[in-house]
Amino acid sequence: MEIREFVALYQKAFGIGVPLPVAFGYNDTPATDVVKIPRCMVGAIRRVCDGEPLTLSAENVLCGGGALYTAFAPMQERVPTFVSEVEHYKQTPEQVREYVGRLGITLSSKQYLNFVRIDCLDSLDGVEGILFFATPDVLSGLCSWAFYDNNADDAVCARFASGCCSMVTFAVKENKAGGRRCFIGLLDPSARLLVPKDELTFAVPACRFSEMLDTMEQSALFRKAYSVVRNRIVGEMG
């Protein structure tokens, strides 16, 4: 399926007022100028839905956690203590170290991480993941689509993570492994105020997205049960 066909189906499924997803991947060439961003990258990534691309690199990812989860730098020594004793997201610094160790993050060999709204791409070559910003009603449709041809108990996961980790790291790792899991994210309280209050994220590794494109029209998205939800989405969009 070509990108333009997917965009048309996506808007048919959810309405034209729903944000289009964002494709992201590492590259040796920036998609746009590497500009200064606020300390947390989450808000900058959300603005890609408005159509302007974003390029991250070691130069403009200033947050220690963000640099780790985008694979531009190893974990700073202060991160486990901060996550545990300041944010109280984990009981001990040792739990944070164990968690990060299990992620198995490998530093990127490429200089840039590009985010581009999907309709601005000619192809998905080099893409690591597709990121959706979704209200509960939209998320219901995305999950139904992901569950359609995947009977695994972890077909869709919600894991402990910072906002940027849930948006990027999980999908990148899953894509490298050729996996099929999708990830609900932005449950991190520190990132919540950087996105609309009724949105979460749904990250799909590129390898899984290519499979899901083949089942989109056969899934619940275009059947009676979800049509009622779609009507509410469209009605709320005005």
Q: What is the pLDDT of residue 38?
A: 76
Structure tokens at 120: 């601005």
> Taking residues 9-22, what's their average pLDDT?
96
Helix (H) / strand (E) element for 132: namely strand 129-134
Q: What rounded mean pLDDT belongs to the chain?
A: 96
Does 94 map to a domain? no
How deeply is 106 buried, as exposed, middle or buried, from its count of CB atoms within 10 A (0-12, 13-18, 19+)?
A: exposed
> Taking residues 190-201, what's their average pLDDT?
96
Does 232 map to a domain? yes
CA distance linking residue 22 with residue 18, whole number of Å: 12
How deeply is 60 buried, as exposed, middle or buried, from its count of CB atoms within 10 A (0-12, 13-18, 19+)?
A: middle
Beta bridge partners of residue 116, listed in sequence order: 23
Does 138 map to a domain? yes
pTM: 0.95
Does 186 map to a domain? yes
Q: What is the pLDDT of residue 86?
A: 96
Does 82 map to a domain? no
Does 152 map to a domain? yes
238 pLDDT higher than 70 = no
Query: Residues 176, 206: contact at Cβ < 8 Å?
Result: no
> Taking residues 204-210, what's their average pLDDT?
98
Measured at the CA of 20, the angle between CA 15 and CA 30, to 5 degrees, comes to 170
Does 28 map to a domain? yes
If one counts every other C-beta atom within 10 angstroms of the C-beta of residue 210, the result is 14
- What residues make up the domain containing 166? 3-72+107-237
> Taking residues 180-205, what's their average pLDDT?
97
**pLDDT tens track for 96-142:** 999 999 999 999 999 999 999 999 999 999 999 999 999 999 999 99
Confidence grade of residue 236 (pLDDT, cut at 50, 70, 90): confident
Q: Work out how many domains the chain is built from and give that number.
A: 1
> Taking residues 59-64, what's their average pLDDT?
92
> Taking residues 159-168, what's their average pLDDT?
96
Does 97 map to a domain? no
Sole residue written with tokens 């020594």: 77
CA distance linking residue 143 with residue 221, whole number of Å: 10
Radius of gyration of the chain (CA): 17
